[in-house]
Structure 1
């Protein structure tokens, strides 16, 4: 059994799982099982479903529910499962928290609602209502590039008085903000502070971060687990070598033409090459074009150069 969130702050590598889709955009449960088994075999410390990498906001509610239920069933308590509930509707976010509870998830993750601008007072009120009505603890998610709203440090400080709010995932890429969050969170020893941008994992752990929600861990979980362990142990040489592979993997995310989607496109293309799931994205968005697949293959070859990072996909995995 993995760490439970009641045991203390979540620490380590928590992949934001992609959502494997069939050609008709239903959940591909067999592919999801391959994905979950691969990342757990790679030593990850939790799973985050329906986040940005999981295309959560684009999916139908039926597929979201199926993804939550199947992920929890496959994980079977081996690691904590966190569920993204962000929505333009607070009522829908609360309803998804009930779905997550019924499925056996461990926490929900909530970013500011988008479309209508929201001020900090209303944002704090939304979090407090979710915290009151969700049976599961709530992790905040700062993703200003997509939500167009920063969860300001003072708002986070105010929310430290909510006992069921348990931390923050910061995907801003702003190290100054991350440092501020580390200071704010000293008020709550049970809070986790996780970083989103994987190229900043080593720097954020050095600041006092608790780990990373790294999209690349869908493809190479062992790489990110080893990097986290090297950072925590202070092994600078290993950390530097592993960071170079993370940087090379990051070339995947510069292949697409839409910066908001290129991470998802790159990761799904890599997973397709490794026999895990199809490269299909939720409509209306497209996968990488065929002309970019040779570059995906070159990146994978470079990152796989280390023997212990070779694929852990079951030899019975179906071709995709």
Structure 2
């Protein structure tokens, strides 16, 4: 995968599961078709919206293999890992490489709190263990670990670390990431917070990993597609139109809301993995209104 291909809208696709909480292959194919037909520029399997944490190694492998095969080269496939240890992350990236993924996204460790020296060594070891391009995933709200601007600048010098997805409501950090790597032609910054897609593009970012693109891929893609042809007014309108769907994340426990939306839209993607449950009946009615206002139901 070339750095020029790291662009646009990359949905972290939800993972449909069956009654035994194993990957529902046919459901996963329906989700892939939905987002690809909606004009996205990549597909990210085993992200946080994809409940990576809830799937054992066998199911993770099945999800990656199914995604690679079904996407069939239409767009790049990114596989994610959020393992805690370096050893487990190395095993995950090698699995994804063997399965045919185009790139790997690696989340900062959770539960533990490595020093900056330890964190750098963690990502460096993972990068050296694979030929896949690595997209760093910063989500301090979920992991409590943050990739500092100074550490990012060092990590960006590693040959196959090609970018970072920043999932933080602190937009100033995204701006600083972009500023710190502006002179690096082999590294890019993407928004991981769906409120900030347009703003990230304005500052020089190249796209987004957007959970809302599971549900409204065409709308999210319009933000990017209109922006790159200079239709800034149209891109901004699409960004504002997306806000009610992003705000709906608060209607249930993460990451159920996008799954509930797809069920309401008739994609039949099943239940969240327990202990997470569906949105309440009241919030389901609110979700229906959000989806109806976007002409999605």
TM (norm. structure 1) is 0.89
Structure 2, unmatched stretches of 5+, are none
Post-superposition shift, 1:58? 2.4
* SS of equivalent residue, structure 1 residue 268: helix
Post-superposition shift, 1:229? 1.8
What's 2:246 paired with?
A: 250
What's 1:266 paired with?
A: 257
Post-superposition shift, 1:55? 1.1
Which of 145, 148, 153 is matched with 2:144 structurally?
Answer: 148
Post-superposition shift, 1:179? 1.2
2:100 & 2:232 partners in 1: Cα distance? 38
Which of 11, 18, 23 is matched with 2:7 structurally?
Answer: 11
What's 1:36 paired with?
A: 32
* SS of equivalent residue, structure 1 residue 102: helix
* SS of equivalent residue, structure 1 residue 245: helix
Structure 1, unmatched stretches of 5+, are 305-309, 312-320
Which of 184, 199, 202 is matched with 2:198 structurally?
Answer: 202
2:259 & 2:287 partners in 1: Cα distance? 10
1:60 & 1:285 partners in 2: Cα distance? 17
Which of 40, 60, 63 is matched with 1:64 structurally?
Answer: 60
> 4+ residue stretches of structure 1 with deviation over 3 A?
none
Post-superposition shift, 1:255? 0.8
1:192 & 1:21 partners in 2: Cα distance? 33
Post-superposition shift, 1:293? 1.4
| Structure-to-structure mapping, 1:119-138, within 5 angstroms | 119-138=115-134
Please tell me whether residue 282 in structure 1 is matched to residue 276 in structure 2: no
What's 1:234 paired with?
A: 230
Q: Deviations over 1:233-263 (max 9, x none)?
A: 332331232123201212321212x4xx1xx
* SS of equivalent residue, structure 1 residue 16: coil
1:233 & 1:51 partners in 2: Cα distance? 29
Please tell me whether residue 213 in structure 1 is matched to residue 219 in structure 2: no
* SS of equivalent residue, structure 1 residue 166: strand
What's 1:314 paired with?
A: none
* SS of equivalent residue, structure 2 residue 2: helix
Which of 168, 179, 182 is matched with 2:175 structurally?
Answer: 179
Q: Deviations over 1:21-78 (max 9, x none)?
A: 1111011111111111111111111011111111112222221111111111111111
Moved more, 101-110 or 286-295: 286-295
Please tell me whether residue 297 in structure 1 is matched to residue 288 in structure 2: yes
RMSD of equivalent CA atoms? 1.5
2:271 & 2:96 partners in 1: Cα distance? 25
2:149 & 2:14 partners in 1: Cα distance? 29
Verify the 8 A CA contact 1:85 1:93 in the aligned structure 2. Answer: yes
Post-superposition shift, 1:7? 5.5
1:178 & 1:134 partners in 2: Cα distance? 27
What's 1:99 paired with?
A: 95
TM (norm. structure 2) is 0.95
1:195 & 1:187 partners in 2: Cα distance? 19
Name the count of aligned residue pairs.
297
